[in-house]
Structures are given as C-alpha cells and as structure tokens.
Amino acid sequence: MLLHDKFGRAITDLRISITDRCNYKCVYCRTGNEGALYGDLPFEDYLRMARVLVGMGINKIRLTGGEPLLRKGVVEFVRELARLRPGGPMPEPLDIALTTNGHMLAEMAQPLKDAGLTRVTVSMDAVDPERFARITRVPNGYDHVLAGIRAARRAGLWPLKVNCVLMRGFNEDQIIPFGMFAREEGVTVRFIEFMPLEEGRTWAPSTVVTLDEILARMAEYRPLVEIPHARSETARRYRFEDGVGEIGIIAPVSHPFCGHCSRIRITSDGKIRTCLFSVWDHDLHGEMRRGSSDAELAEFIQSVVQKKEERHHIGEPDFVPASRTMVHIGG
C-alpha cells in the first residue's frame, strides 16, 4: 500500500517532532514567553508510527522539534530507525535526517552518525555573534553552533545544510556574509522566506525577504548559476560561477511548491499534520491508545492523507492561520 493523496501526490517524506521544547527563542518563531505546550511521547511510540509509515512508502524521515537534541535517548532512537527498511524491489536504506539549532551538536554529531543518521541541517540566522544573540535571544550560542557545524562535517554528516530564515529588520544584511560563509565552510546555505507560523503573529508581507531580492543581493557579491533541481525539491539551488560554494532558496511565500509536496508531519504529541498550514490535526497516537493494530493504523493514515490540503493560502484574503505555530508543529 503506497501513499498518495487525492491530488496524486506521492507521500514519501515524514517529519517527526520529538519534542516541542526548545532552548532558543528565535524572533521569527517564538515570543520568548511560551514554553512547551504539547509535551512528547516515549520513543517506542514514534518508532511504531515510523515503522507503519515506512511500510507505506515513506523513505525519508527527518527528526525535528522544538529542539530534537534536547531529548535524551535521541541517539538510540536514530539507531532503531536505521533498522527500518523501506519496501520495494530494491530496498534502499532509510534516509534519516535531523534539523537542529546546532547548540548541542558538537558533542553529538559523531554518535548520531555512528547510530545511522544520514544528514543534518543546522539553523543559523546570522554569521555575526551579536546579531545571532539578538535573533535567538540566547547569549553565546554562536560559538556552539559553529562548533556543531564543524563537528558534523568532520563526522561525515553530508550534505551539510545551514538554514537561514530571513526577516526584514533583523538579518537581511546577512545575505552576502552567508554567501562568503558557504564558500569558506563548504556548506550549502539555504535562505528561507519567513512564513506566518510564528507565535507572536508579527508576520506581514513586508517582513518577507523574497527569492528575487535574495538573488539580486547575492549577485552584487558574485554571479550565480542556477543548478537544475528535482521537481520535488523545495529549494532552488545555485552555485557561484567560479564553482566554489552553493546556496539554496526556499521560497514558500513568493514561489509556492505545494503542487510537489511529498510531506506529512507527526507532532511531538503524536498528531498527523498534512500541511504546515493545516487548521486541524489527526490523532494517530489516540488510535494507538485505543488499541488499533498496525493494519488499522495504516488505514487511518491512508484516510488522513486523503485530506491533505491542495495548497497554502499565505497572503490571500481567505488565509486562516495554522492551528499551531512552527515550534509546536516541527519544521
């Protein structure tokens, strides 16, 4: 049984939030006042959900949060996930990725790699320690994150991506410094357009630094050449003309890619979300608590996927804010 939604999109990509706690309070995500709202589940429950979903065609799992590295036992969990095998005539190993703020990555990169983690994405929104502190509202985080990025590279967690959310008034002047950073550190820096998923409800179209603006700014530094990308890839990719360094731009606001979306998410409290902007979620953990068999869970998942939204409505008059903010969904 492979997962397709009613628009014919194949669902192959699962994100699991393993906690909605976070040690950072980034301005584009949190107010700094709210803590965790939904709690988390024992790892064995996520593992069962993952096993059922891998049996339905999921071949990529990304762990996220909140901050996933705050969860004790995450290395063991990765080891268990790495034992799952996607189906198909020539089964490939499961692609297991992690999105982290990188604060605790320096010590954990090698154990995670040894446990079977394939790739890591580190969120970093400035390449200047003071600006970094202003955005994350955490003093002295910058050196930890830089050490985490370098440890991930040494551990062979490759390709290594650094995600930067651009928000006008905070870090739009970091575009060129991040271009330099990509070249110097040998990482792919991906700029992400700010989406209306923050706790503070401060989003407005004018706060979004768009793909066109990022490209124009970077071109002042060095010429870029677009790299052809798979339709299902969310990022548009570019390399610098001299062949050194790559950047990506994820532009869900100015260039939506809903038509190729292959994702579903499980929140830290075990709900399925079919879109970041869903106004409801579906209680998979509730089904487990009721004693459903794996086959019944698969049937439930199949029916939920049929409800996947066709697209988001950011910036349109009928836009209704998502029922959860990013930190409680799992980005």
Name the residues that contact ligand SAM, by CB under 6 A. 22, 28-29, 64-65, 67, 99-101, 123, 163, 165, 192, 194-195, 197-198, 326-327, 331
Instruction: Pick the closer one to ligand SAM by CB: 22 or 235.
Output: 22
Instruction: Pick the closer one to ligand SAM by CB: 74 or 192.
Output: 192
Instruction: Pick the closer one to ligand SAM by CB: 67 or 246.
Output: 67
Instruction: Pick the closer one to ligand SAM by CB: 208 or 224.
Output: 208
Both tokens of 234, joined, read: 């969310």
Least spacing, CB of residue 96 vs ligand SAM, in Å: 15
Percent helix, strand and coil across the chain, each to the nearest 5: 35, 20, 50
Instruction: Pick the closer one to ligand SAM by CB: 26 or 301.
Output: 26
Instruction: Pick the closer one to ligand SAM by CB: 32 or 87.
Output: 32
Least spacing, CB of residue 278 vs ligand SAM, in Å: 15
Number of other CB atoms surrounding residue 75 within 10 Å: 18
Least spacing, CB of residue 279 vs ligand SAM, in Å: 17
Please name the residue that has the structure tokens 């360094």.
245
Least spacing, CB of residue 225 vs ligand SAM, in Å: 25
Amino acid letter for position 65? G
Instruction: Pick the closer one to ligand SAM by CB: 3 or 146.
Output: 146
Least spacing, CB of residue 171 vs ligand SAM, in Å: 11
Least spacing, CB of residue 190 vs ligand SAM, in Å: 9
The residues, ordered by sequence, that sit 6+ positions from 130 with a Cβ below 8 Å of its Cβ are none
- DSSP, collapsed to helix, strand or coil, labels residue 13 as strand
Least spacing, CB of residue 131 vs ligand SAM, in Å: 15
Amino acid letter for position 11? I
Least spacing, CB of residue 128 vs ligand SAM, in Å: 17
DSSP output for 30-96: --SS---SS----HHHHHHHHHHHHTTT--EEEEESS-GGGSTTHHHHHHHHTT----SSSPPPPEE
Indicate the residue whose CB is closest to ligand SAM. Answer: 331
Closest CA to 63 of 203, 266, 242: 266
**Spatial contact of 309 and 281, defined as CB atoms under 8 Å apart:** no
Please name the residue that has the structure tokens 């107010």.
31
Instruction: Pick the closer one to ligand SAM by CB: 56 or 276.
Output: 276
Contacts 24+ apart (CB under 8 A), 221-226: 221/176, 221/179, 221/180, 222/179
Q: In the chain, what's the furthest Cα-to-Cα distance?
A: 59
